[in-house]
Amino acid sequence: MKFVHCFLALLFVSNAIAETSRKCATIQLLNQPKQAYFRQSSSSCSAESYYDSVSIRTTEHFALIYTKTGPHATTSTFLDSLEHSLENAYKRYTQTHKTLPPLGVKTSWHYQKNIPNNLYPVEVVELDLLRNIQNLIGENNCQYCMAITVPSFSNDGSSSIIIDNDFKHSSPQATTGIFSKDSNSCEYSIADFAIKNYTHNYSYAKKFGSGIRVTIYHELYHAIQLRYLDLLEYPTYWFEASASGIEEITAPDIDDYLTFSNQLASMQWESFSNVSNPYALAPYYLNLYQNFGPTFDTKIWEEYKKNPNATLEKNIASILQTKEINPDSLFHQFALQYFFSGNRTLFAPKEIQLQNDAALWETPKIHSEQISMPSNSQPYFSYRFSSHYPEFSGTKSYLLKNKNDSTYAILPIHSHNEYLKNYSKIQSADSVVLVLSRFLPTKLESEENIKQKLLVYPNPYKGGVPLCFTGLSNTSGVLEIRNRRGSLIISKKYDSNQFCFQESEIKQILTPGLYYYRDGRNGKLKKFIYQ
């Protein structure tokens, strides 16, 4: 169970406390129909009914809007921590990450206050009682959210942040409170359920400084993203994925992203562009940060600004092209790195630069089933760990380990011939894993080219491993082996482009010497030696 900071719409909120899993309410807003944003509230008490005097604390770059009474009340200590985190995040992003500064709206959402001196507004609110919340993020309200970043809906890149006042929300068992104002009394559910950090098992209501810090770094990044892309018109999963990843960079001790990051382990052979939960892609953000530093994601958002319809992978490829870096190779590096998550960190070779939290991530599964799909249907921007060698139109590496080895060895495979040359090494290893990745669409060798590369391996054959023939026709046919005089020794039917004899079978049929093989009864004979 996890809670999430968000940008303007809640991606998911359950009615049951045990199933809640978000802090950020920004995504749900993006999914609401625009014409519904400003419908009149059906509540008998208006938003103004739950607060009286409202104050504004100004800092160098922000206007903190709050009240000290009623269900929205906050404390000076909370405001001090909020001010500190906001200014630190602002400095970090604009100076280190070289981003545009956030642009604030002129009037705040909840308290409806005019914002002085072009400052960025941050409202402290009991989110259960947020103004027009159903119109903003839907029928689920913002139960169990920590904050929300609200765009202006004017396509100018401006926004505001609304943060919960105590990181507590009302449970179904909550008692009823009454707030009186101007001779009117309004009921509300008292916030009694504290939002937790489930990675380290503490309450954000008690450790509100940590809650403020991780939330502000997340939400202010949303405000900055809006300077580059109108996410109401051009939604992208990278919006939440990058904001979730940057939490680990800016607040590494909190580790709030870990709950969702483990979902990446089950996303094998699934394109990142089809991700159902963008928070899961935080490890990929961390990989890019590790390789290129704090300005790389800024460049991604600059690419979005130039071409808002572009995909994430195309934006990344465009940036890497200027650096003369192959995007497929870089993505494959990520797949290799990600393999050594969880309990595999102990076996990572020296050339693998592990993330700080890699040991805390879920250990990805190695798939044993055979992959069989045409090249035009193979998903790109995806990865897979397999125990089989398929026809695959992406980047491949073998991870090899013997019983006495402390780490895996990485064996890149760039062509089928390279695979054949290393076949004996692959077959003799005690542990073999094939790492597959595909960043952008690539062409698979045609069937005709495969047919032209009829090969046997290993050649010469010395035993100890199977004897395999590859480049066979994909349709059913016959593999023939003949002796040096041309006499037929073996005739085997096959139904794939590879056929292997076990060593025991070879020993029963063949004796050391020179042999010939061919695909079909009319194909050209080729030589191999059995020693």
| Residue 453 sits in the same domain as residue 439 | no
| Residue 414 sits in the same domain as residue 504 | no
Q: What is the pLDDT of residue 341?
A: 95
| Residue 358 sits in the same domain as residue 492 | no
Report d(CA 213, CA 198) in Å as an integer.
Answer: 16
Nearest C-alpha neighbor of 223 from the set 368, 360, 119, 353: 119
Q: What is the pLDDT of residue 332?
A: 94
Is 512 a residue whose pLDDT tops 50?
A: yes
* Residue carrying structure tokens 């102990």: 346
- The CA–CA distances, whole Å, from 500 to 87, 467, 504, 514 equal 65, 5, 12, 18
- The CA–CA distances, whole Å, from 76 to 61, 66, 124, 224 equal 19, 10, 12, 27
Among 104-118, 166-180, 190-204, 381-395, the least confident range: 381-395
Q: Print the domain residue range for 502.
A: 447-530
Number of folded domains that form the chain: 3
Pairing status of strand 196-197 against strand 382-386: unpaired
Residue 373 lies in a domain: yes
Among 79-93, 259-273, 437-451, the least confident range: 437-451
Strands annotated E in 16-96: 55-58, 62-66
Q: What is the pLDDT of residue 99?
A: 98
Is 276 a residue whose pLDDT tops 50?
A: yes
Nearest C-alpha neighbor of 330 from the set 278, 298, 290: 290
**38 vs 224, more confident:** 224
State mean pLDDT over 367-383: 71
Highest averaged pLDDT of the listed ranges 2-6, 37-41, 271-275: 271-275
Q: Which of 222, 256, 290 is the last residue of a domain?
A: 256
Q: What is the pLDDT of residue 460?
A: 83
| Residue 231 sits in the same domain as residue 336 | no
Q: What is the pLDDT of residue 7?
A: 43
| Residue 88 sits in the same domain as residue 224 | yes
- Percent pLDDT > 90 in the chain is 54
| Residue 289 sits in the same domain as residue 328 | yes
List beta partners, residue 491. Answer: 480
Residue 263 lies in a domain: yes
Residue 356 lies in a domain: yes
Q: What is the pLDDT of residue 16?
A: 27
Decide if 238 contacts 300 (C-beta within 8 A): yes
**pTM for this model (two decimals):** 0.80
Q: What is the pLDDT of residue 2?
A: 39
Residue 57 lies in a domain: yes
Is 338 a residue whose pLDDT tops 90?
A: yes
Q: What is the pLDDT of residue 203?
A: 95
Highest averaged pLDDT of the listed ranges 299-313, 382-396, 422-436: 299-313
| Residue 106 sits in the same domain as residue 161 | yes
- Positive or negative torsion for Cα 478, 481, 487, 490: negative
Identity (one letter) of the amino acid at 171?
A: S
State mean pLDDT over 505-516: 88
- Percent pLDDT > 70 in the chain is 84
* Residue carrying structure tokens 């009823």: 176
Backbone angles phi, psi at 301, to 5 degrees: -70, -30
Is 90 a residue whose pLDDT tops 90?
A: yes
- Positive or negative torsion for Cα 483, 488, 494, 496: positive
Query: Each residue of 131-159: pLDDT tens digit?
Result: 988 777 765 556 668 999 999 878 899 99
Identity (one letter) of the amino acid at 230?
A: D
Residue 330, both tokens: 């870089």
Query: Each residue of 213-264: pLDDT tens digit?
Result: 999 999 999 999 999 999 888 989 999 999 999 999 999 999 999 988 888 9
The HSE-up count of residue 49 (CA atoms within 13 Å, CB side) is 15
Q: Which of 444, 475, 499 is the last residue of a domain?
A: 444
Report d(CA 160, CA 105) in Å as an integer.
Answer: 6
State mean pLDDT over 177-201: 92
Residue 18, both tokens: 């045990």
For all residues of the chain together, what is the average pLDDT? 84
Is 288 a residue whose pLDDT tops 60?
A: yes
Q: Which of 225, 240, 256 is the last residue of a domain?
A: 256
What secondary structure, in 3-state letters, does 320-351 show? HHHCCCCHHHHHHHHHHHHHCCHHHHHHCCCC
**69 vs 3, more confident:** 69
Is 160 a residue whose pLDDT tops 80?
A: yes
CA gyration radius, the chain: 30
| Residue 237 sits in the same domain as residue 371 | no
Q: How confident is the model at residue 32 (pLDDT cuts 50, 70, 90)?
A: very low
What secondary structure, in 3-state letters, does 103-122 show? EECCECCCCCCECHHHCEEE
Find the length of the chain.
531
Q: What is the pLDDT of residue 442?
A: 58
User: What is the CA angle 127-131-136, rounded to 5?
Assistant: 85
Residue 185 lies in a domain: no
Nearest C-alpha neighbor of 395 from the set 384, 407, 408: 384
Decide if 475 contacts 415 (C-beta within 8 A): no
DSSP for 472-526 reads: --SSSEEEEEEETT--EEEEEEESSSEEEE-HHHHHHH--SEEEEEEESTTSPPE
Residue 5 lies in a domain: no
State mean pLDDT over 504-530: 84
State mean pLDDT over 17-32: 46
Q: How confident is the model at residue 374 (pLDDT cuts 50, 70, 90)?
A: low
Residue 359 lies in a domain: yes
Q: How confident is the model at residue 201 (pLDDT cuts 50, 70, 90)?
A: very high
- Positive or negative torsion for Cα 85, 87, 88, 89: positive
Query: Each residue of 388-414: pLDDT tens digit?
Result: 766 677 888 999 999 999 999 999 988
- The CA–CA distances, whole Å, from 214 to 64, 256, 359, 477 equal 18, 8, 21, 62
